[in-house]
Every structure is written in structure tokens, then in C-alpha cells.
Amino acid sequence: MTRMSQIQTEVSDFYGIDRAEMVGPSRCRMFVLPRSVAMAMSRELIADASYIAIGSQFGGRDHSTAIHAIKRVNEWRKDADFDAGYQDLRDRVAARISPMFRRQGTPMFRTSRKEIAQ
């Protein structure tokens, strides 16, 4: 199981939905909110998570979808209740990801498009 799929599983369990539905094509808010949260956590917690890699792991979406989702989550986090829940979930997810792969400041490398295509 990849790190991003670990995040997807934890977030989908937290929101009580199926992981396949979360990464599927549905635009229903019931799936969009958890998907956006999982994308933001992937970017925040995984050192080499580029927007391209995030989009491809979430149903083959474009990198601009990942950028938009992360911006929305940052807006939602201005609400204290949402932010508290986000931080609790993030801490739970971070505890399950290997420390070697956690984002700490600026990453030393990024995943290139060539690596993703392979």
C-alpha cells in the first residue's frame, strides 16, 4: 500500500465512505470534501507529493484539480471547528506514515512527470 493510498484509506474511514467512491468521478459533496482533505494531507505529509502525482492517485485527475482542492481546504481551515477536525485527522494519518517520508520544510526533491509516466 502506498503512502497516498494509506492517506486515502484513513480519510475515507474517518468520513465513513468507501475509498473507491472517494477517488471516483463523483462530484457529490459527500465525496468531494473527503477527497479534497486527502489531497491536502497528501501534499502536506508526503515529501515528494507533486500536484501531478496527487492528481493521478485520485482517479487520474489533472494537477490543477489538486491545486484547487488544496486551496479550498486551506479556506475551509479558517473555520475553527473544521480546522480542529482536520488537525486531529492529520495527526492520526501522520502517525501511520513512515517518518522518512513526512514533509519537513521544503522537500529535497520532487516527482518528475517522467517518473509518474513509468
Q: What's the pTM? A: 0.81
With 0-12 / 13-18 / 19 or more C-beta atoms within 10 angstroms meaning exposed / middle / buried, residue 74 is exposed
Q: Which fold has domain 3-102?
A: Chromosomal Replication Initiator Protein Dnaa; Chain: A; (1.10.1750)
Predicted confidence at residue 100, as pLDDT, reads 52
Q: Distance (Å, rounded) from C-alpha 21 to C-alpha 91?
A: 24
**What percentage of the chain carries pLDDT values higher than 70?**
81
90: CB partners within 8 A, 6+ apart:
41, 44, 45
Q: Distance (Å, rounded) from C-alpha 2 to C-alpha 54?
A: 12
Residue ranges of the domains in the chain? Answer: 3-102
pLDDT digits (tens, 9 = 90+) for 29-63: 999 999 999 999 999 998 889 999 999 999 999 99
Q: Mean pLDDT for the chain? A: 85
Per mean pLDDT, which range of 4-8, 42-46, 89-93, 109-113 is the poorest?
A: 109-113
- Residue owning grid cell 508526503: 46
